[in-house]
Amino acid sequence: MAARDIYVPPQRIGIRALDASEAAHANSLARSAIAAFELDGYTVADLVRHSNVTARLVSATGPTLALRLRRGPSVDSRTELAWLSAVRQGTGVRVLEPYAEEFDRNTRTVAHRDGTPVECSLFLWADGRPLAADLTRLNYCELGRMTAQLHEFAASWQPAPGLKPLVWDRTMYYAGTRLVITDPRYAEFVPARHARAVESVIAEADAELGRLTRAPDRMFLHGNIEMWNVLSTGPGELRLLDFEDVMVGPPVLDVAITLFYGRERPDYTALAEAYEAGYRSVRPWPVRDSRQLALLTAARAAMLLNHALLTEPDRQSVTDRLLPLILGAAR
C-alpha cells in the first residue's frame, strides 16, 4: 500500500523523518544503548520517528528488537511496564512484548548531546502495518472488542502500590502544559470569535473531566488506543502497541480517545458503529450520551491543537483539521 493511502490524523502532520544530523545523533544514542544493554552482535537497521524515535535493532543470532529513545517521559516507565506485563499475563489481547519483564533489564539511560538523559527501553520488534492502513469495519469491530477486553480485565486488576499513571482530569492534563489556543498571539490561526467558542467548550469539557475523576468505575486504561498504535497483521487480527500513556479513569476515556481519531473521515460513522458493536459483545457500552463523547473529543482535539500551535512549523494545516472538531461541540 502506498504511503498516500494511509490515513494520517491531524496531529501527525508535523511528524517528519529525521534529518541527517538528527539521524547521526540517534544512531550514536542507539549504539550507546546497545552497549549499555550488552547486546553483543546487534546493529541499528533503521530509525523511525513517531512521538519518540525508535531504532530497529538486528542481529544474526537474536530476535529483532525495537529500541525506544525518549526524553522527558510523560509516564513513569515502571508504571508502563507493570501495566503492559499485567495485560500480557491476564488477557488474550495481543500486545507489544517487552525485552524483559524486569524493569532493570528493560530500561537504561544514556546521555543526549546536550547532557540531558535519554531513556532507552527495549521491546521485541512487532511486524505488521498500522491500522491506519487497514481501516475496515471488521478491524474496528475487533478494536472495540479488544478495548472491552482490556477494560474487563482492568476492572478487577489490583495494581501494586507506587504506580503513577496519568489522570485526565482537565483538557491540558500533561504536567507543565497550559492552554494557549485562545492567546491573541495565535489569532492568525484561531480568530477571536472562534477563541471565545473554544473557551466555552473547554470549560464544559473540563467540568465533565473533573466529574469523571470521581466516577466509581475508574480503572487502569491504555490511554491512547489509536490507529497508529495498533498493528494489523490480517483481517480482524490486531496487536496493541505504545503503553506509555497509561492513565486511570473510567473506561469512557479510552473509548473517547479511540473515537477521536478519524472523526473527520467519510466512513467514520460506519467505523464507530463497528467499534461499538465489538465493545458491546464483551461488556456494556460506557458512553453516557453523544454530548459526553463530543466534549471529550473536543478536549482531545484542543490538547493536540494546543501542542501543534506551540511546536509545529505547519500550524495552519493542523488547525484547519482540528479546530472544527472543537467548534463542533459548541452550543
Can you give the pLDDT at residue 159?
95
Q: What is the pLDDT of residue 1?
A: 39
**Dist CA 259 CA 298 (whole Å):** 11
pLDDT tens digit sequence for 81-134:
999 999 999 999 999 999 999 999 999 999 988 889 999 999 999 999 999 999
Q: Which residues of the chain have pLDDT under 70?
A: 1-4, 11, 13-15, 73-74
pLDDT at 9: 83
**Protein fold of 131-327:** Aminoglycoside 3'-phosphotransferase; Chain: A, domain 2 (3.90.1200)
Percent of the chain clearing pLDDT 90 (strictly above):
85
pLDDT of residue 3: 45
pTM of the model: 0.94
DSSP 175-200: TT----TTSGGGTTTS-HHHHHHHHH
Quick one: pLDDT at residue 33?
97
Grid coordinates representing 66 are 525495537
Q: Identity (one letter) of the amino acid at 208?
A: E
CATH classification number, 3-127, choose in 2.60.40, 3.40.50, 3.30.420, 3.30.200: 3.30.200
Q: Are 157 and 220 in contact (CB under 8 A)?
A: yes
Domains 3-127 and 131-327 alike in fold = no
Domain ranges of the chain: 3-127, 131-327
- Residues 6 or more apart whose CB falls under 8 angstroms from that of 33 comprise 55, 67, 69, 108, 110, 120
Q: Rounded to whole angstroms, how far apart are CA atoms 116 and 8?
A: 31
